Amino acid sequence: MEIHELTIHELHDKLKKGELSSVEATKAFLARVEAVEGTVNAFITVTKEEALKDAEAADRRIAAGDMQPLTGIPVALKDIFLTKGVRTTCASRILDNFIPPYDATSVAKLKEQGMVLVGKLNQDEFAMGSSTESSHYGKTRNPWNLECIPGGSSGGSAAAIAAREATATLGTDTGGSIRQPASHCGCVGLKPTYGRVSRYGVIAYASSLDQVGPVTRDVTDCAIMLGAVAGFDPKDSTSVDLPVPDYTRALIPDVKGLRIGLPREYFIAGLDPDVQKAMDEAIATYKGLGAEFVEITLPHTDYAVATYYLIATAEASSNLARYDGVRFGHRSDQAQGLIDMYRKSRSEGFGEEVKRRIMLGTYALSSGYYDAYYLKAQKVRTLIMQDFSRAFAEADVILTPVAPTPAFRIGEKSADPLQMYLSDIFTIPVNLAGTCGMSVPAGIGKGGLPIGLQLVGRPFGEESILRAAYAFEQATEWHRQKAAL
């Protein structure tokens, strides 16, 4: 097996035994990036020099007997995480020249373990999108089919894993932005419970919805990455002070007696036949493992997309007001006066989708419309949270599709934003409820594209979905399938 094919735990074992050095591993991944980036475009910035320095430091640390699960492991980050001294763009022209003076907390935690940063990954601009087509730095392509999207907004994070350009990546999930690309690229992707991982140093899109999580090749790696970044952070007022368990201990291939809920609203007419087939086979697999199924209802699902696109855009309107051409980022050199500088800097710096969402959010928050739109959306959000609370009285985990279809073709939905928004219909409710969910490879469609299974857990129930995911993974071979790039 080539070095770039190794998982975190496989590479860790080789580093620990001295069969491989971190420098050798890092050079192998950098060579892989160089070989495939011309077709995939998963990276915005490749940090070759920094990576080799990190790898040398990791090798010294390993030689001294100070080794943690991620020491010497090549990792890449969505370009939404602040990285000290390394350009952070959020895939936007407005931040093209921004060099952060500090690290995001999640990045600092990975550095404490001795990870090797190989680069910053492409995404939808300011994480606003479902296809990674809105990036200022070009579209990312799906390694399984270069004519298809990788999903979004963490499309680079998933594509880099599928293309074997990094051992693991971090993404963010506001309405499905980890789970949906993980599904489309045949990876494992986990959105933790809101408050489980610090958001400090993560460029904000919608502050009450954003959450940091890992994208990996298998469930074991996912548990390792989650354990590395989870935990209380006093710098993040929404971070929850709870102990962080050893998530790898939840990885037992036993789900006997586990109650799995099937929400009737998610298994609907119009679901792609390949997705339906993958879900039916997954249910049969779990039954064979001894899990019990119960039908549940999440009655306010139909309102989730509309609710999300009021709350998320309203928060985006507020969060993106700071990009004014004054303190950092792009400043127009054609402006005549202060107000004109604000207007032109923002017009030149933001892409079309970001502008659309800022305008939607500003309208929803405006005088005379606040109660009718934003306030009502918050009330519906409460109803959606209550739906999940009632469902978890009957089920331990919930099983659903991740997306209604496998990955669609590049450009297929670009002219129809509403159709693009509806591609996240099964993931958005989990963000609104603030609970945890993950995508696990569960099939390959007739077109040769991966299909993911979504497992949703109670708030701070990451161990339960990791256990269910691991049991499914060990009983199937889907996670071993590879993109023929």
Residue 353 to residue 355: CA distance in whole angstroms: 5
User: Residue 139: exposed, middle, or buried by beta-carbon count in 10 A (0-12, 13-18, 19+)?
Assistant: middle
Q: Tell me if 384 sits within 8 A of 429, measured CB to CB.
A: yes
Q: Tell me if 202 sits within 8 A of 87, measured CB to CB.
A: no
**Catalytic (active site) residue 153:** yes
Cα distances (angstroms) measured from residue 134 to each of 296, 306, 334, 408: 37, 21, 25, 15
**Catalytic (active site) residue 14:** no
* 347 preceded by a cis bond (ω within 30 of 0): no
Residue 418 to residue 89: CA distance in whole angstroms: 26
Report all structural domains of the chain as residue ranges with CATH numbers, in order of start.
3-246 (3.90.1300.10), 304-378 (no CATH)
What is the pLDDT tens value at each position of the chain, 485 positions in all?
A: 799 999 999 999 999 999 999 999 999 999 999 999 999 999 999 999 999 999 999 999 999 999 999 999 999 999 999 999 999 999 999 999 999 999 999 999 999 999 999 999 999 999 999 999 999 999 999 999 999 999 999 999 999 999 999 999 999 999 999 999 999 999 999 999 999 999 999 999 999 999 999 999 999 999 999 999 999 999 999 999 999 999 999 999 999 999 999 999 999 878 999 999 999 999 999 999 999 999 999 999 999 999 999 999 999 999 999 999 998 889 999 889 999 999 999 999 999 999 999 999 999 999 889 999 999 999 999 999 999 999 999 999 999 999 999 999 999 998 888 889 888 999 999 999 999 999 999 999 999 999 999 999 999 999 999 999 999 999 999 999 999 88
**Catalytic (active site) residue 21:** no
Cα distances (angstroms) measured from residue 330 to each of 45, 121, 333: 18, 20, 9
Annotated catalytic residue: which of 153, 154, 198, 345?
Answer: 153
Tokens of residue 222, six digits: 């996912």
Name the E strands within 113-209: 116-121, 168-172, 188-191
Residue 170 to residue 186: CA distance in whole angstroms: 16
Q: Residue 146, Cβ neighbours under 10 Å: how many?
A: 14
Annotated catalytic residue: which of 177, 239, 317, 423?
Answer: 177
Q: Residue 115, Cβ neighbours under 10 Å: how many?
A: 28
Type and span of the H or E element at 421: helix 417-422
The pTM for the full model equals 0.97
